Amino acid sequence: MAALEIEARDSSSYARAGRLHTAHGDVRTPAFVPLATKATVKGLLPSEVEAFGYDMVLANTFHLLLNPGPDLIDQFGGLHRFMAWERPIITDSGGFQVFSMGHGTVADEIKGRSPHGEAAKRAGAILSIEEQGVRFRSYIDGRERLLTPEGSMSVQAALKSDIALVFDECTPFHVERDYTARSTERTHRWLERCLSWHREHGPAEQLVYGIVQGGVFEDLRRESASVVAASACDGIAIGGSLGAEKEQMYEVVRFAVEELSGEAHGRPRHLLGIGEVDDLIRGVELGIDTFDCAMPTRLGRHGSALVPDPQTRWRIDLTKSSCRQADEPLIDGCPCPACSQGFSRAYLSYLTRAKELTGMRLLTAHNLTFIAALMSELRTAIIAGRLAEVTSALRAGAPLPLRPPQGV
Ligand SMILES: [Zn+2]
């Protein structure tokens, strides 16, 4: 059976709605995948993440490799039992993290900042990039480590995630075309090594996604997408730096999607690290099935709440003085714990400024409820044949139908 069962397609875009079948159940698509980077969605219980409407979370191979280590998780039979989440889990390969140590974060790059604080401590920790893999210094104990394509797959096999991602080099967008071309070719060789390791040793029920690289260069992206599409991977992820501006990012995603024809067209597609509200809407129109991003959870921990207002980039900053005395919920009628239990913006603002854990928890819960409602609205619209109408209303700031999670 194909991993993705497509239930409906939109006639005016590349969008599709479906069900992604995994060993731990189905993921209704299009879907957002919250980050459980270190085997926890920060501040929330698995039962809460599920109640907000999420089918799958994403855990991070690189962090879990360093701490607590794959052997311990393996003793528990894998990540599901270890973190008490019995639904689908996708693990990234560690490629992005290992390379962001050397290049700073993608956000730093987009905003033209040089790494500082934590990022500066991590910067330069890549010792060398070789054909064999990447040599780096652990941020936990300073030891030199080597992460190879086979090593990443073996860690993901021990974690027993439902979906593993192949190990890739995440090239930053400021590098020369020549470097991007050579790096993308190496990523393709690593793809074959990951697939062949998995064929021999990987859990049979684990799906493996290849990763399209190629930077912002149209020919390299298209070439990479066709190489990944021609491989034996179960799904296709689009990674790397997609550009400095949103329009460029959308173009780069379109180049990749357009190359996925024939049998590859029906394979699930994941867009790595993208999750702002307008990007999710456009990503769905571009035919992406699943997305992951730190945005909604990280914003919540730093005092911002998502609201249906494109003029403010869909968010309010509760640390601003305008919120300090506001006796109103974040969104009227929102079923999340922050809005439904009577907490005012003033109280949430106070908790945020006082750095209270309850504030972080409530805002994370609100933001994940908002994103789940957005994805459910997009999915429902595709199935009902109303996507164009719904996306134009959302882009104009229409309120989301916020309802308690239900099985669409
Ligand atoms: Zn809410």
Side-chain-side CA neighbours of 401 within 13 Å: the count stands at: 9
How confident is the model over 372-397, as pLDDT tens digits? Answer: 999 999 999 999 999 999 999 999 99
The Cα 304–Cα 332 span in angstroms is 17
How confident is the model over 35-48, as pLDDT tens digits? Answer: 999 999 999 999 99
Tell me, in angstroms, the distance from the centre of ligand 1 to residue 48's CA.
14
What pLDDT sits at residue 256?
97
Tell me, in angstroms, the distance from the centre of ligand 1 to residue 6's CA.
31
Q: Any idea which of 52-66, 100-114, 364-378 has the lowest mean pLDDT?
A: 100-114
Token pair in block for residue 60: 């991070």
The Cα 233–Cα 198 span in angstroms is 10
What pLDDT sits at residue 110?
40
pLDDT(223) > 90: yes
Q: Going edge to edge, which strands form the sheet with 269-271?
A: 31-33, 290-292, 269-271, 235-238, 207-212, 163-165, 89-92, 57-60
What pLDDT sits at residue 102?
65
How confident is the model over 88-129, as pLDDT tens digits? Answer: 999 999 888 888 776 554 444 444 444 444 554 444 488 888
How confident is the model over 126-178, as pLDDT tens digits? Answer: 888 899 999 988 888 888 999 999 999 999 999 999 999 999 988 876 788 99
As annotated, the active-site residues are: 92, 292
Closest alpha carbon to 124 in 106, 114, 111, 136: 136
The Cα 406–Cα 390 span in angstroms is 19
pLDDT exceeding 70 applies to what percent of the chain?
Answer: 93
Tell me, in angstroms, the distance from the centre of ligand 1 to residue 339's CA.
4
Cis omega before residue 308 (within 30°)? no
List beta partners, residue 22.
25
Tell me, in angstroms, the distance from the centre of ligand 1 to residue 342's CA.
10
What pLDDT sits at residue 118?
53
Tell me, in angstroms, the distance from the centre of ligand 1 to residue 336's CA.
4
What pLDDT sits at residue 107?
44
The pLDDT mean for the chain works out to 92
What pLDDT sits at residue 97?
83
Higher pLDDT among residues 103 and 191, named by residue: 191
What pLDDT sits at residue 405?
52
Closest alpha carbon to 284 in 166, 388, 397: 388
Q: Which domains, and CATH codes, for the chain? A: 4-293 (3.20.20.105), 298-408 (no CATH)
Report residue 401's pLDDT band, with 50, 70 and 90 as the boundaries.
Answer: confident
Q: Are 331 and 371 in contact (CB under 8 A)?
A: no
What pLDDT sits at residue 120?
46
